[in-house]
Amino acid sequence: MITRTLPTRGVVGHHPTPLRLSRRRRYTVYGIGSALWLTGALWLLFHYFLQSKGEFGATENPLEPWWLRLHGIMAFASMWTFGLVWGVHIVAGWRTHRHRLSGGITVAILGWLVASGYLLYYLVDDQWRNVAAWAHWTVGLALPIAFVLHMTRGRQRARHRHMPGT
Tens of pLDDT along 78-108?
Answer: 999 988 888 778 787 788 777 778 888 888 9
pLDDT at 12: 47
Task: Delimit the domains of the chain by residue range.
Answer: 98-166
Based on its alpha-carbon atoms, the radius of gyration of the chain, rounded to whole angstroms, reads: 20
pLDDT less than 70: residues of the chain: 1-18, 154-166
Contacts of 69 (CB under 8 A, 6+ apart): none
pLDDT at 127: 93
pLDDT at 10: 46
Reported as type and span, the H/E element at residue 96 is none
In angstroms, rounded to a whole number, what is the distance separating the alpha carbons of residues 60 and 52? Answer: 7
